[in-house]
Amino acid sequence: MESRRQFLSPLLLLLFQALLRTSARGGIAVYWGQNGNEGTLADTCATGRFAYINIAFLNKFGGGQTPELNLAGHCNPATNSCRVVSDGIRACQSRGIKVMLSIGGGIGNYSLSSRDDARAFSVYLWNNFLGGGGSASRPLGDAVLDGVDLDIELGSPLHYDDLVKYLKRLGKHGRKVYVTGAPQCPFPDRLMGAALNTSLFDYVWVQFYNNPPCQYTSGNPKNLENSWMRWTRSVKAGKIFLGLPAAPQAAGSGFIPADVLTSEILPVIRRSKKYGGVMLWSKYWDDQSGYSSAIVKSV
Ligand SMILES: *[C@@H]1O[C@H](CO)[C@@H](O)[C@H](O)[C@H]1NC(C)=O
Ligand SMILES: *[C@@H]1O[C@H](CO)[C@@H](O)[C@H](O)[C@H]1NC(C)=O
Protein backbone atom coordinates (compact mmCIF):
# COMPACT_ATOMS: atom_id res chain seq x y z
CA MET A 1 0.00 0.00 0.00
CA GLU A 2 2.68 2.41 1.10
CA SER A 3 4.79 1.98 -2.04
CA ARG A 4 1.73 2.31 -4.23
CA ARG A 5 0.80 5.60 -2.64
CA GLN A 6 4.30 6.88 -3.20
CA PHE A 7 4.04 5.88 -6.82
CA LEU A 8 0.70 7.57 -7.25
CA SER A 9 1.38 10.92 -5.65
CA PRO A 10 4.07 12.15 -8.09
CA LEU A 11 1.75 11.09 -10.88
CA LEU A 12 -1.13 13.02 -9.38
CA LEU A 13 1.12 16.01 -8.92
CA LEU A 14 2.08 15.93 -12.61
CA LEU A 15 -1.58 15.66 -13.57
CA PHE A 16 -2.46 18.56 -11.32
CA GLN A 17 0.31 20.70 -12.81
CA ALA A 18 -0.87 19.85 -16.33
CA LEU A 19 -4.41 20.88 -15.33
CA LEU A 20 -3.14 24.14 -13.90
CA ARG A 21 -1.25 24.88 -17.09
CA THR A 22 -4.32 24.26 -19.23
CA SER A 23 -6.55 26.41 -17.05
CA ALA A 24 -3.94 29.18 -17.09
CA ARG A 25 -4.29 29.58 -20.85
CA GLY A 26 -5.82 32.87 -21.80
CA GLY A 27 -8.18 34.19 -24.44
CA ILE A 28 -8.31 37.29 -26.63
CA ALA A 29 -10.95 39.97 -26.09
CA VAL A 30 -11.61 42.50 -28.84
CA TYR A 31 -13.63 45.68 -29.25
CA TRP A 32 -15.93 45.68 -32.26
CA GLY A 33 -18.25 48.46 -33.39
CA GLN A 34 -16.33 51.67 -33.99
CA ASN A 35 -15.43 51.15 -37.66
CA GLY A 36 -17.81 50.04 -40.38
CA ASN A 37 -14.94 48.46 -42.35
CA GLU A 38 -14.06 45.76 -39.80
CA GLY A 39 -16.48 43.04 -40.96
CA THR A 40 -19.62 41.84 -39.23
CA LEU A 41 -19.79 40.47 -35.73
CA ALA A 42 -20.43 36.99 -37.16
CA ASP A 43 -17.27 37.30 -39.35
CA THR A 44 -15.30 38.42 -36.32
CA CYS A 45 -16.29 35.39 -34.29
CA ALA A 46 -15.86 33.00 -37.23
CA THR A 47 -12.11 33.76 -37.22
CA GLY A 48 -11.90 31.51 -34.14
CA ARG A 49 -9.35 33.85 -32.55
CA PHE A 50 -11.52 35.68 -30.05
CA ALA A 51 -13.07 34.54 -26.78
CA TYR A 52 -14.74 37.82 -25.77
CA ILE A 53 -16.35 40.61 -27.79
CA ASN A 54 -17.16 44.08 -26.50
CA ILE A 55 -19.70 45.88 -28.69
CA ALA A 56 -18.64 49.54 -28.67
CA PHE A 57 -20.31 51.81 -27.61
CA LEU A 58 -23.46 52.90 -25.83
CA ASN A 59 -22.07 56.41 -25.42
CA LYS A 60 -25.03 58.46 -24.25
CA PHE A 61 -26.74 57.75 -20.94
CA GLY A 62 -27.52 59.15 -17.51
CA GLY A 63 -28.89 62.44 -16.27
CA GLY A 64 -32.29 61.81 -17.78
CA GLN A 65 -31.05 61.38 -21.36
CA THR A 66 -32.50 58.66 -23.56
CA PRO A 67 -29.58 56.21 -23.91
CA GLU A 68 -28.05 56.02 -27.38
CA LEU A 69 -25.95 53.43 -29.12
CA ASN A 70 -23.26 54.37 -31.64
CA LEU A 71 -21.89 51.65 -33.91
CA ALA A 72 -20.20 54.00 -36.41
CA GLY A 73 -20.73 52.82 -40.01
CA HIS A 74 -22.13 49.39 -39.06
CA CYS A 75 -25.75 50.46 -38.70
CA ASN A 76 -28.00 53.29 -37.58
CA PRO A 77 -29.82 52.82 -34.27
CA ALA A 78 -32.19 55.67 -35.17
CA THR A 79 -33.67 53.60 -38.01
CA ASN A 80 -33.49 50.33 -36.03
CA SER A 81 -30.98 48.91 -38.50
CA CYS A 82 -28.74 47.69 -35.64
CA ARG A 83 -31.27 44.99 -34.75
CA VAL A 84 -29.63 42.67 -37.29
CA VAL A 85 -26.61 42.52 -34.97
CA SER A 86 -28.64 39.93 -33.04
CA ASP A 87 -27.71 37.33 -35.67
CA GLY A 88 -24.03 38.03 -35.02
CA ILE A 89 -24.48 37.93 -31.26
CA ARG A 90 -26.13 34.51 -31.49
CA ALA A 91 -23.47 33.25 -33.93
CA CYS A 92 -20.73 34.30 -31.48
CA GLN A 93 -22.48 32.80 -28.46
CA SER A 94 -23.00 29.49 -30.29
CA ARG A 95 -19.19 29.28 -30.45
CA GLY A 96 -18.89 29.86 -26.71
CA ILE A 97 -17.82 33.49 -27.16
CA LYS A 98 -19.07 35.96 -24.55
CA VAL A 99 -20.56 39.18 -25.95
CA MET A 100 -20.78 42.34 -23.86
CA LEU A 101 -22.26 45.77 -24.52
CA SER A 102 -19.59 48.36 -23.82
CA ILE A 103 -20.84 51.59 -22.27
CA GLY A 104 -18.83 54.80 -22.34
CA GLY A 105 -15.86 55.30 -24.65
CA GLY A 106 -13.80 58.35 -25.51
CA ILE A 107 -16.54 60.34 -27.24
CA GLY A 108 -20.04 60.88 -25.94
CA ASN A 109 -22.13 62.40 -23.20
CA TYR A 110 -22.58 60.21 -20.17
CA SER A 111 -22.61 60.45 -16.38
CA LEU A 112 -24.74 58.99 -13.62
CA SER A 113 -26.29 61.75 -11.52
CA SER A 114 -27.50 59.72 -8.53
CA ARG A 115 -28.07 56.26 -7.16
CA ASP A 116 -31.57 56.34 -8.61
CA ASP A 117 -30.13 57.28 -11.99
CA ALA A 118 -27.79 54.25 -11.74
CA ARG A 119 -30.71 52.00 -10.83
CA ALA A 120 -32.87 53.29 -13.69
CA PHE A 121 -30.01 52.80 -16.15
CA SER A 122 -29.38 49.24 -14.89
CA VAL A 123 -33.05 48.41 -15.52
CA TYR A 124 -32.82 49.99 -18.98
CA LEU A 125 -29.79 47.80 -19.81
CA TRP A 126 -31.50 44.71 -18.39
CA ASN A 127 -34.64 45.24 -20.47
CA ASN A 128 -32.99 46.42 -23.68
CA PHE A 129 -29.85 44.27 -23.94
CA LEU A 130 -29.84 41.59 -21.24
CA GLY A 131 -32.22 38.97 -19.90
CA GLY A 132 -35.17 41.22 -19.11
CA GLY A 133 -37.95 41.06 -21.67
CA GLY A 134 -39.46 44.39 -20.72
CA SER A 135 -38.73 46.33 -23.90
CA ALA A 136 -40.30 46.07 -27.34
CA SER A 137 -37.56 48.17 -28.94
CA ARG A 138 -34.29 46.41 -28.20
CA PRO A 139 -31.60 48.36 -30.14
CA LEU A 140 -29.58 45.20 -30.95
CA GLY A 141 -32.64 43.00 -31.46
CA ASP A 142 -33.82 40.15 -29.28
CA ALA A 143 -30.49 38.36 -28.67
CA VAL A 144 -29.54 38.38 -24.99
CA LEU A 145 -26.05 39.72 -24.37
CA ASP A 146 -23.78 38.14 -21.77
CA GLY A 147 -23.03 41.33 -19.93
CA VAL A 148 -22.00 44.94 -19.74
CA ASP A 149 -18.51 46.37 -20.19
CA LEU A 150 -17.58 49.69 -18.57
CA ASP A 151 -15.17 51.87 -20.53
CA ILE A 152 -15.68 55.06 -18.57
CA GLU A 153 -13.29 57.68 -19.94
CA LEU A 154 -15.08 60.96 -19.25
CA GLY A 155 -17.62 62.58 -16.97
CA SER A 156 -18.06 61.93 -13.28
CA PRO A 157 -16.69 58.91 -11.36
CA LEU A 158 -19.84 58.70 -9.23
CA HIS A 159 -22.38 55.88 -9.05
CA TYR A 160 -20.71 53.34 -11.32
CA ASP A 161 -20.29 51.22 -8.18
CA ASP A 162 -24.07 51.43 -7.75
CA LEU A 163 -24.62 50.51 -11.40
CA VAL A 164 -22.44 47.40 -11.08
CA LYS A 165 -24.25 46.29 -7.92
CA TYR A 166 -27.67 46.76 -9.54
CA LEU A 167 -26.63 44.89 -12.69
CA LYS A 168 -25.30 41.96 -10.66
CA ARG A 169 -28.51 41.94 -8.61
CA LEU A 170 -30.68 41.81 -11.76
CA GLY A 171 -28.58 38.91 -13.04
CA LYS A 172 -29.53 36.91 -9.97
CA HIS A 173 -33.17 36.92 -11.11
CA GLY A 174 -32.38 35.39 -14.47
CA ARG A 175 -29.41 34.80 -16.69
CA LYS A 176 -26.05 35.73 -15.17
CA VAL A 177 -24.85 39.23 -16.05
CA TYR A 178 -21.12 39.46 -16.66
CA VAL A 179 -19.58 42.78 -15.69
CA THR A 180 -16.29 43.73 -17.32
CA GLY A 181 -14.27 46.92 -17.48
CA ALA A 182 -11.47 48.72 -19.27
CA PRO A 183 -9.72 51.06 -16.81
CA GLN A 184 -6.62 52.96 -17.93
CA CYS A 185 -3.35 51.75 -16.45
CA PRO A 186 -2.53 54.55 -13.95
CA PHE A 187 -3.61 53.00 -10.62
CA PRO A 188 -6.15 53.55 -9.18
CA ASP A 189 -8.32 54.50 -12.13
CA ARG A 190 -9.69 58.00 -11.62
CA LEU A 191 -13.16 57.22 -12.98
CA MET A 192 -13.59 53.49 -12.38
CA GLY A 193 -11.72 52.97 -9.10
CA ALA A 194 -14.79 52.89 -6.87
CA ALA A 195 -16.65 50.55 -9.25
CA LEU A 196 -13.66 48.19 -9.38
CA ASN A 197 -13.48 48.22 -5.59
CA THR A 198 -16.86 46.48 -5.42
CA SER A 199 -14.92 43.32 -6.43
CA LEU A 200 -17.87 42.39 -8.65
CA PHE A 201 -16.07 42.45 -12.01
CA ASP A 202 -15.69 39.18 -13.87
CA TYR A 203 -13.04 40.45 -16.28
CA VAL A 204 -10.90 43.58 -16.21
CA TRP A 205 -8.97 44.50 -19.35
CA VAL A 206 -6.58 47.24 -18.32
CA GLN A 207 -5.59 49.63 -21.12
CA PHE A 208 -1.81 49.53 -21.02
CA TYR A 209 -1.51 52.28 -23.63
CA ASN A 210 -1.62 56.07 -24.03
CA ASN A 211 0.06 56.25 -20.60
CA PRO A 212 3.89 55.98 -20.80
CA PRO A 213 4.45 55.58 -17.00
CA CYS A 214 2.57 52.25 -17.00
CA GLN A 215 3.00 50.86 -20.51
CA TYR A 216 5.64 49.25 -22.70
CA THR A 217 8.01 51.76 -24.23
CA SER A 218 10.35 50.66 -26.97
CA GLY A 219 12.76 48.15 -25.50
CA ASN A 220 11.67 48.77 -21.90
CA PRO A 221 9.12 46.39 -20.37
CA LYS A 222 9.66 47.47 -16.72
CA ASN A 223 6.90 50.10 -16.42
CA LEU A 224 4.40 47.67 -17.92
CA GLU A 225 5.48 44.78 -15.73
CA ASN A 226 5.37 46.84 -12.53
CA SER A 227 1.96 48.18 -13.43
CA TRP A 228 0.67 44.68 -14.25
CA MET A 229 1.86 43.51 -10.83
CA ARG A 230 0.10 46.40 -9.14
CA TRP A 231 -3.19 45.72 -10.91
CA THR A 232 -3.17 41.97 -10.42
CA ARG A 233 -2.30 42.32 -6.73
CA SER A 234 -4.74 45.12 -5.94
CA VAL A 235 -7.90 44.39 -7.91
CA LYS A 236 -10.22 41.57 -6.91
CA ALA A 237 -11.71 40.42 -10.19
CA GLY A 238 -12.24 37.05 -11.85
CA LYS A 239 -9.52 37.58 -14.46
CA ILE A 240 -7.26 40.44 -15.52
CA PHE A 241 -6.21 41.01 -19.12
CA LEU A 242 -3.37 42.85 -20.80
CA GLY A 243 -5.12 45.50 -22.91
CA LEU A 244 -3.12 46.57 -25.98
CA PRO A 245 -3.45 48.49 -29.25
CA ALA A 246 -3.74 46.00 -32.13
CA ALA A 247 -1.61 48.25 -34.39
CA PRO A 248 0.79 51.17 -33.85
CA GLN A 249 -1.87 53.60 -35.21
CA ALA A 250 -4.57 52.25 -32.88
CA ALA A 251 -3.31 54.35 -29.95
CA GLY A 252 -1.07 57.32 -29.24
CA SER A 253 1.55 55.05 -27.66
CA GLY A 254 2.04 51.65 -26.07
CA PHE A 255 2.07 49.32 -29.07
CA ILE A 256 4.12 46.14 -28.48
CA PRO A 257 5.44 44.29 -31.56
CA ALA A 258 3.92 40.78 -31.66
CA ASP A 259 7.30 38.99 -31.37
CA VAL A 260 8.25 41.05 -28.29
CA LEU A 261 4.87 40.31 -26.71
CA THR A 262 5.09 36.55 -27.21
CA SER A 263 8.77 36.10 -26.36
CA GLU A 264 9.34 38.66 -23.59
CA ILE A 265 6.13 40.03 -22.11
CA LEU A 266 3.62 37.18 -21.96
CA PRO A 267 5.98 34.74 -20.22
CA VAL A 268 6.32 37.26 -17.37
CA ILE A 269 2.74 38.44 -16.98
CA ARG A 270 1.29 34.91 -17.28
CA ARG A 271 2.83 34.12 -13.90
CA SER A 272 -0.11 35.85 -12.23
CA LYS A 273 -2.95 33.50 -11.30
CA LYS A 274 -5.35 36.23 -12.38
CA TYR A 275 -4.02 36.33 -15.95
CA GLY A 276 -6.96 35.97 -18.35
CA GLY A 277 -5.40 36.83 -21.70
CA VAL A 278 -5.03 39.85 -23.97
CA MET A 279 -7.55 42.55 -24.91
CA LEU A 280 -7.16 44.33 -28.25
CA TRP A 281 -8.36 47.70 -29.44
CA SER A 282 -9.82 47.10 -31.98
CA LYS A 283 -11.12 44.61 -34.57
CA TYR A 284 -10.54 47.18 -37.30
CA TRP A 285 -6.90 47.73 -36.36
CA ASP A 286 -6.38 43.99 -35.89
CA ASP A 287 -7.54 43.48 -39.49
CA GLN A 288 -4.89 45.98 -40.63
CA SER A 289 -2.01 44.44 -38.65
CA GLY A 290 -2.79 40.74 -38.28
CA TYR A 291 -1.87 41.06 -34.60
CA SER A 292 -4.28 38.49 -33.15
CA SER A 293 -3.19 35.87 -35.71
CA ALA A 294 0.42 36.46 -34.72
CA ILE A 295 -0.15 36.10 -30.97
CA VAL A 296 -3.13 33.77 -30.56
CA LYS A 297 -1.08 30.59 -30.01
CA SER A 298 0.92 32.26 -27.22
CA VAL A 299 -1.93 33.92 -25.35
C1 LIG B 1 -25.19 65.95 -21.84
O2 LIG B 1 -25.94 65.37 -20.78
C3 LIG B 1 -26.50 66.27 -19.86
C4 LIG B 1 -27.26 65.46 -18.82
O5 LIG B 1 -26.44 64.58 -18.15
C6 LIG B 1 -27.40 67.26 -20.56
O7 LIG B 1 -27.86 68.23 -19.65
C8 LIG B 1 -26.66 67.94 -21.71
O9 LIG B 1 -27.55 68.76 -22.44
C10 LIG B 1 -26.06 66.91 -22.64
N11 LIG B 1 -25.27 67.55 -23.69
C12 LIG B 1 -25.37 67.24 -24.98
C13 LIG B 1 -24.47 67.99 -25.90
O14 LIG B 1 -26.15 66.39 -25.39
C1 LIG C 1 -9.88 51.35 -4.43
O2 LIG C 1 -8.97 50.51 -3.72
C3 LIG C 1 -7.60 50.83 -3.93
C4 LIG C 1 -6.77 49.78 -3.20
O5 LIG C 1 -6.79 48.58 -3.87
C6 LIG C 1 -7.31 52.22 -3.44
O7 LIG C 1 -5.95 52.56 -3.72
C8 LIG C 1 -8.21 53.21 -4.15
O9 LIG C 1 -8.02 54.50 -3.62
C10 LIG C 1 -9.69 52.82 -4.04
N11 LIG C 1 -10.44 53.71 -4.90
C12 LIG C 1 -11.59 54.26 -4.59
C13 LIG C 1 -12.14 55.26 -5.51
O14 LIG C 1 -12.19 53.97 -3.58
Q: What would the pLDDT profile of 191-205 be if each residue is shown by its tens digit?
A: 999 999 999 999 999
Q: Does residue 171 sit within a domain?
A: yes
Report whether 54 contacts 100 (CB < 8 A). Answer: yes
- Ligand at minimal distance from the CA of 198 is 2
Residue 179 has pLDDT above 50, yes or no: yes
HSE of 22 in the Cβ direction (CA atoms, 13 Å)? 6
Q: Give the residue-averaged pLDDT of 38-64.
A: 98
Minimum-distance ligand 2 atom for the alpha carbon of 157: 13
Residue 1 has pLDDT above 50, yes or no: no
Biggest CA-to-CA distance, the chain: 74
Q: Indicate whether residue 111 lines ligand 1 (CB < 6 A).
A: yes
Q: Does residue 99 sit within a domain?
A: yes
* Total domains in the fold of the chain: 1
pLDDT of res. 56: 98
Q: Does residue 9 sit within a domain?
A: no
Q: Does residue 6 sit within a domain?
A: no
Q: Does residue 52 sit within a domain?
A: yes
Q: Which of 20-24, 31-35, 92-96, 129-133 is the least confident region?
A: 20-24
Q: Does residue 210 sit within a domain?
A: yes
Report whether 100 contacts 106 (CB < 8 A). Answer: no
Residue 22 has pLDDT above 60, yes or no: no
Structural domain of 240: 27-295
Digit-coded pLDDT (tens) for 83-136: 999 999 999 999 999 999 999 999 999 999 999 999 999 999 999 999 997 788
Residue 154 pLDDT grade (very low, low, confident, very high; cuts 50, 70, 90):
very high
Minimum-distance ligand 1 atom for the alpha carbon of 62: 5
Q: Does residue 89 sit within a domain?
A: yes
Q: Give the residue-averaged pLDDT of 160-175.
A: 96
Q: Give the residue-averaged pLDDT of 40-58.
A: 98
- CA-nearest residue for atom 12, ligand 2, is 194
Q: How far is the CA of 180 from the centre of ligand 2 (A)?
A: 17
Distance CA 255, CA 218 (A): 9
pLDDT of res. 174: 85
Q: How far is the CA of 110 from the centre of ligand 1 (A)?
A: 8
Q: Does residue 272 sit within a domain?
A: yes
Question: pLDDT over 70 for what percent of the chain?
Answer: 92
pLDDT of res. 4: 53
Strand partners, 280: 30, 244
Identity of residue 139: P
2 an active-site residue?
no
146: domain CATH number is 3.20.20.80
Which phi and psi angles does 42 have, rounded to 5°?
A: -60, -45
pLDDT of res. 135: 80
Using CA atoms of 34, 36, 40, 45 in order, give the dihedral in degrees to the nearest 10: -40
